[in-house]
Amino acid sequence: MPSLHALANPARFLKVTRPLTPLLFWAGAVLIAIGVWAGLTQTPADYLQGESVRILYIHVPTAWLGTGGWTGIAISSVMYLVWRHPLSNIAARAIAAPGALFAGLCLATGAIWGRPTWGTWWQWDGRLTSMLLLFFVYLGYMGLARADAERGGDGRIPALFGIAGSVLLPVIRYSVVWWNTLHQGPSITLSGSSIDAALLWPLWWTLAGFTFFFASIVLMRMRALLAVSRVEARMRRMAAV
């Protein structure tokens, strides 16, 4: 198994991720299908929320990956600023689009869940508002990274933005503790879960499935960005001849 330092070599990274990408994609698709099937057909309705509770098998993984994606951007940004390896910068850029997608899906599924549960599609409470801000921060990062690449920047400004944006992560995490909101408190913690076991078990399937699926998208985007950078470097060498 190659070390993380060895994977920082683009050629070795491509060699390892070429077979790994479809493996993660199809494993994720299978796990998602099993989890969704089990959640829709093999679990009982909630005694308070009824059938609407089943959206948790999509909503929770999208929330997890919406915030987890920015964690990946922040870590990659720190690694880029410290070690200056371009693969870290590429990783952060590759995470941004799927991270924004899952943050948007989290907001959409939350609104669908909230309508029958709370009687409203939207509430300006701490959890929802901070997640919406994270979605816009994703969009801002994507625009900044594109502009930096087009003007020939060295990637430091997007990396600093990636680190600064991580201030939203603890706000999202603890918003339901710090403020009195419609959103329920933490359901799954290190000490256990408040969700009944009869409803909980398919969630582990969809969490794993969406995580694998997310990882496959990030690897595909990293490979594509590496290919683009190689083509651009070759064109610059040709133009200099």
Count, residues in the chain: 241
Segments forming the whole domain that contains residue 67 = 49-183
Query: How far apart, in whole angstroms, are the C-alpha atoms of residue 26 and residue 52?
Result: 28
Strands 188-189 and 192-193: antiparallel
- In angstroms, the CA 97 to CA 93 distance is 8
Domain membership of residue 163 (yes or no) is yes
**Residue 94 forms part of a structural domain:** yes
Say if pTM beats, i.e. exceeds, 0.85.
Answer: yes
The answer as to whether 174 is a domain residue is yes
Residue 6 included in any domain = no
Query: Does some domain include residue 199?
Result: no
Collect the ranges in the chain with pLDDT lower than 70: 1-8, 179-180, 182-194, 230-241
How many domains are there within the chain?
Answer: 1
Query: pLDDT tens, 57-111?
Result: 999 999 999 999 999 999 999 999 998 888 899 999 999 999 999 999 999 999 9
Predicted confidence at residue 162, as pLDDT, reads 96
Q: Quick one: pLDDT at residue 239? A: 60
Residue 52, SS3?
helix
For residue 24, being part of any structural domain is answered with: no
* Cβ(116)–Cβ(151) below 8 Å: no
223 within 8 A of 18, measured Cβ to Cβ? yes
Per the listing, tokens 């990636």 go with 162
Neighbouring-strand partners of residue 149: none
Q: For residue 162, tell me if it sits in a domain.
A: yes
Calpha distance 148→27 (Å, rounded): 35
CA distance linking residue 140 with residue 199, whole number of Å: 37
91 belongs to a structural domain: yes
